[in-house]
Chains A and B, each alone.
Chain A
Amino acid sequence: MILPKKGDPVIVQNITGKYGRLHTKLMLEYGTNIAAGATPGKGGQDVEGIPVFNSVSEAAGKTGAKISVLFVPAEFLQSAGEEALEAGIKLLVVITEHVPIRDTLKLIQLAQSKGATMIGPNCPGLIVPSQQVKLGIMPASSFAPGKVALFSRSGTLMYEITGQLTGAGFGQTVALGMGGDPINGTTPIECLDFAEKMDETKAVVVVGEIGGDAEERLARHIQKSGYKKPVVAYIAGRHAPKEKKMGHAGAIIYGDYGTADSKIRALTAAGVKVAMTPAEVPTLLMQSPV
């Protein structure tokens, strides 16, 4: 993954939909260079002064964009994602919720074969405050430039915790929502490895939740790789019932698989400081050698 820089041209797919329009406006206000929109059959229109094309390849050809943000309905997401990857998009940010698991798996496979990165689905996107680049739906007011990289499975918890961080003087190099589905385009391990290579990033915050074993795998990776940067984590769902999807398709415990306790134990054993509440995250960061 390559972090977007100030001025990088960005395409919005389904820019003509309700959310596409709203968030194009908000992304533009933040400073993101939305260069073109793509909606089949809506070529020739414009949204917020941004030209709309019928296809991603046309939009990418006209603007040189390698980044696309997708507000495409779940039913059409797979084909829209394939279209973008075939058109040379290297960073695919999928905001769409309720994408079938097999469609996500197919897109991940295609992205890997094209050397591209997919963020999401069912995620708020990513934001790079120092570059004034916002690719997604997060409220800009919570974020500030700084030295902490934040990766979260949940959207609103990402805003909540970033708000607390910013309030405590910890700005962010990048904040990225990995998504609330059982399968995500980017894993926590990929995110941490990425943060390790970013010189400006001095500490990492991981926001996880019940379901799956991504946090346990991350803990093993931190231990095995001798991860250098301090990591603080927060895991939501310690009091969640079993066998219920808690809002996110991926937030579900089966038996002992996917419990918050298992994740907290694994992360703690790997030397990660685990906050018990969102408000405790900045406190634990202050105790880390940032």
Chain B
Amino acid sequence: MSFATRILLGANLNHDVLRARAVRLFEYQAKDLFKAYGIPIPKSIKADDLSAVREAFSKLNHPVALKTQVLAGGRGKAGGISIVDDRVEAQKEAQRIFVLSIGGEKPSAILVEEAYPHDSEMYLSVTLDRGDRAFVTIAAMSGGIEVESMSGKVIRKIPLDGIDENFASEVASLLALKGDQAGQFAAILLSLERLAREKECELAEINPLAVGKDGTLMALDAKVIIDDNALFRHPEFAKLHPEDEFEGEASRQGFAFVRLGGDIAVVGNGAGLVLSTLDLVGDAGGSPACFLDLGGGAQQDRIEAALRLVNRLPGVDRILINIYGGITRTTDVAAGITAVLGEGPVKPVYARVSGAEEEEARKLLEGTPVKLFSSAPDAVAAVVQGP
């Protein structure tokens, strides 16, 4: 697999929405950061509705690009970007884009941006290379969607305390940039690296970095993903995204939670165990509705909260619980299930409870409608088959 495929974080790869825990900024948010760090961007105005688009159109030079603000990749191909030159056309296109869902995601706004006529495009990013356990910069003389196929990429490891002018100039010369353009490029790389380091980004990407008719470099798109574990140092990014009701509740409870769209809710303790349970369900022909990791050492109240959450999740009609008891006490799990059963109707529960105090846990669940199993494959076979 090519290096760029390995580190490329989003260009047209998947239409899923990254929303729950990864802090990926919308283009207009990323461009605000670019502006603050001195990276050149075209003049633009974010518009939340049609009248704001009209107002922005009247304030900017024409033509303008109307760009849907979604996190999903491939928005251009999906019709989310339109270049317009007159007011009526702008109105018509904005109307269309405001209701255009991309990969199930509705636009959060339209960015109205002055078009930037240019001759060629470049690619530039600062990103984490997991395999080499280092941040790297990647630069190429051609921009566009398919970064993995770009020829003549330059990849350079970035020291943890940042880069200097020599480093940036060297990358520019490796790209065979000369004179003023090499200087512009080096300045942009220095700014992008400083932004990525100071704001603790997993990715800061300019694609494309356009070379204008007069040779001026301009960042036409901006992609920034913040390391969500570093948010305590960057609270300004913590509340940037709307989350759905269930994701919001799961994150307040401290669960790792991903909605998947099937009919079997999958709950367990430990990310790897739940992941492996999804595989068992998938192999048996079932379709998981969600991934819910209770976390280590979950106590009765957390089991209850998880069960209540998945019980009212749309689309769920069976619940699979896979617990390997250790620090999580299986008796707490059993007591939690029993408590929720006592509150009202609960979708059929299939539980595999194994490990310390297993026998006591089984006794607690005797006489309840919960179907109990001692092995995960048995529980999965039963839940996939259904009642």
A residues bordering B, Cβ < 8 Å? Answer: 19, 22, 74-75, 98-103, 105-106, 108-109, 137-139, 141-142, 152-160, 163, 180, 182-183, 187, 207, 209-214, 216-217, 234, 236-252, 254-257, 260, 262, 276-279
Contacts and interface: CB of A to CB of B under 8 A. Distances in A.
A290 B10 CA distance: 44
A246 to B, nearest CB: 5
B282 interface: yes
Contacts of A180: 271-272
B270 A100 contact: no
A141 B355 contact: yes
A276 B284 CA distance: 12
Contacts of B86: none
Given A100-B230, A156-B296, A236-B279, 9 more contacts: A137-B327, A139-B355, A152-B272, A154-B272, A209-B275, A212-B131, A243-B13, A250-B130, A277-B283
B160 A105 contact: yes
A125 B288 CA distance: 31
B218 interface: no
B206 interface: no
B229 A100 contact: yes
A262 B2 CA distance: 13
Contact of A213 (B131, B260, B288, B376): B131
User: How would you classify the secondary structure of chain A's contact residues: helix, strand, loop or mixed?
Assistant: loop
Contact of A210 (B229, B258, B260, B275): B275
Contact of A254 (B9, B229, B269): B9
Nearest to B275: A236
B130 A245 contact: no
Given A102-B227, A238-B279, A244-B20, A139 B356 contact: yes
Contacts of A22: 297, 327
Interface string B317-329: 0000000111100
B280 interface: yes
16 contacts: A75-B232, A109-B160, A156-B324, A157-B272, A180-B271, A211-B130, A213-B131, A238-B279, A240-B275, A244-B16, A247-B274, A254-B10, A254-B14, A256-B1, A256-B5, A278-B376
Contacts of B271: 154, 156, 180, 209, 246-248, 251
Nearest to A181: B229
A147 B216 CA distance: 65
Given A100-B200, A257-B6, A277 B131 contact: no
Contact of A102 (B160, B282, B324, B327): B160
A155 B270 contact: yes
B260 A241 contact: yes
Given A238-B282, A239-B281, A243-B14, A160 B273 contact: yes
B229 A106 contact: no
B377 to A, nearest CB: 6
A252 to B, nearest CB: 8
Contacts of A246: 256, 258, 271, 274-275, 291
Which 8 residue pairs are nearest across A and B when measured between Cβ atoms? A154-B272, A156-B270, A247-B271, A139-B326, A239-B282, A157-B272, A100-B230, A247-B256
B1 A262 contact: yes
A252 B275 CA distance: 11
Contacts of B227: 100-102
A159 B269 CA distance: 11
Contacts of A207: 272
Main secondary structure on B side of the interface with A: mixed
Contacts of B375: 279
Nearest to B6: A257
Contacts, number: 201
B278 interface: yes
Contact of A257 (B5, B281, B296): B5
Interface of B: 1, 5-10, 13-14, 16, 18, 20-22, 128, 130-131, 133-135, 160, 197, 200, 202, 227-230, 232-233, 256, 258, 260, 268-276, 278-283, 288, 291, 293, 296-297, 324-327, 354-356, 375-377
Contacts of A102: 160, 197, 200, 227, 230
A234 to B, nearest CB: 8
A13 to B, nearest CB: 18
A99 B228 CA distance: 9
Contacts of A109: 160
Contacts of B16: 241-244
Given A155-B296, A254-B9, A249 B133 contact: no
Contacts of B10: 243, 254
A179 B230 CA distance: 18
Contacts of B22: 245, 252
A183 B355 CA distance: 30
Contact of A139 (B135, B283, B327): B327
Nearest to A156: B270
Contacts of A137: 296, 327
A245 B21 contact: yes
Contacts of A236: 272, 275-276, 279
A214 B229 contact: no
Contacts of A154: 270-273, 275
B40 to A, nearest CB: 27
A288 B18 CA distance: 42
A103 B197 CA distance: 12
A25 to B, nearest CB: 12
Q: Which of B13, B200, B326 lies at the interface centre, i.e. has the most chain A CB atoms within 10 A of its CB?
A: B326
Nearest to A23: B327
